[in-house]
Amino acid sequence: MQAAQTLRAHPPEPLTRRCVAGVEVELLGAPPELVAGLRLPGSAALSDRPAPSRISCVVRAFPEALDPPEDHRARWRWTGDSCDVAYLGCEARLRALSPTRYAASLAVRGGVTELEALLGALAVATVYRRGGVVLHAAGVELDGRAVLFVGPSGAGKTTACSLTAGARGFVRDRAVLVPDRKGWAAWALPGWAPIDQGLEPSSAHRLPVAAILAVDQGDTEVVVQRCTAIEAARVLRESTMTGDASREGELALLDVLAGLARDVPCGSVTTVLGRPCGGALRDWLERGAP
Amino acid sequence: MTSELDPSLIVRQGGRTASRMIDGKAVVVVIDAQRMHVLNPVGARVWELCDGRSVGSIAEHITREFAIDGETALRDVVRFVSELNDVGAVQLSAEPST
């Protein structure tokens, strides 16, 4: 009897529920071998997260039916409550049922890798539906908030993280940002948790965003300064992952980035190799990010 | 090169562009090139006027609105429109569309 109660209290986690980019996905009708191979974290990982979005997906496998991918970029386009998504030769139709519930029909060409990629694209499409973005950014947790570093590959984003003494590693290279009631919240895209930053990893899944800083490398002095709204929009646009190449999608993205630049201090940090910059960042934030 | 652009050419914003005004400046994204261009207030006004009128007509507007002489305005507008054309932000044509 006690054993039965224990089993009821801790039911086995359904294999069909997974976590993708802070979104819960439920896979319906997918071939078992496809689901079994997924490396995405199970739904238990969602238990400490507030009101996650959920996508219920009907999955059909078409090993040879669809054309090979023309490019390797995820594409999505919202039209009203519907969104067409394509990635790695796979296609999906996503439909918003409510602000947090979605239904999707997936046609998967290929195997587990393609399915995981398509699920990631679906999750990212819901992020943009919610008025959020995915930035090419590395970031740290500093005093309970996220400081994100942006810039082209090789600009020194990871180095800036490692130089932020007293901080914890938060995100390696892809950050999801979504507006919420208190400002903007950030978390790492799956597979982009911090590694090799020389910092203890943050235990937080989601953090309020304190600042977004373009990284520059100097020789003498650590400098943190705010930039103009127009410069912030330019830097954010260059750092934003996009999947909607329509004019309407681009206009919507510009509006989102203008809002992000208005709500979150954006600027630049000049780092110096071997010189910690955590103190300068804290001081700048405490002074109101001038 | 840029000075050879005919002022009678009709100029329109490219269909594959998106723009917004931020702090009095225009940001113009050429979508297929994934490049963002920031235009100063005069450039933003020229961009706004790229609606199917001629390059020369745009220069006349700039002359009136910014109190500069016509020759300077025409030279600067011709150069600027050429730059916009080079980055794929505008379409030039000899005839106005119906």
Q: Which ipTM was obtained for this model?
A: 0.84
User: Between vectors from CA B36 to CA B32 and to CA B39, what angle results, nearest 5°?
Assistant: 130
Residues 6 or more apart whose Cβ sits within 8 Å of residue A8: none
| Greatest extent of chain A over all pairs of C-alpha atoms, in Å | 70
Q: What's this model's pTM, rounded to 2 decimal places?
A: 0.84
CB atoms within 10 A of CB B32: 11
| Choice between B1 and A289, residue whose per-residue pLDDT is larger | A289
Beta strands in chain A (DSSP E): 17-20, 23-28, 53-61, 75-79, 82-87, 90-96, 101-108, 133-142, 145-150, 168-171, 174-180, 183-188, 207-218, 223-226, 266-272
pLDDT tens digits for A217-268?
998 899 999 999 899 999 999 999 888 989 999 999 999 999 999 999 999 9
Any chain A CB within 8 A of the CB of B20? yes
SS3 A155: coil
A176: which residues sit within 8 A by CB, 6+ positions away?
Answer: A21, A22, A124, A127, A132, A133, A134, A186, A187, A188, A189
For B25, which residue in chain A has the nearest alpha carbon? A230
pLDDT score, position A7 = 46
Query: Could you count the other beta carbons within 10 Å of the beta carbon of residue A251?
Result: 15
Residues in chain A: 290
For residue A224, which amino acid is it? V
CB spacing of A234 vs B25 below 8 angstroms: no
In the predicted model, residues of chain A with pLDDT beneath 50 are 1, 3-14, 48, 50-51
Return d(Cα A156, Cα A273) in angstroms, integer. 10
Search chain B and give the residue with CA nearest A254. B20
Determine, for residues A230 and B16 on separate chains, whether the beta-carbon distance falls below 8 Å.
no
Collapsing DSSP states into helix, strand and coil, what is residue A271? strand
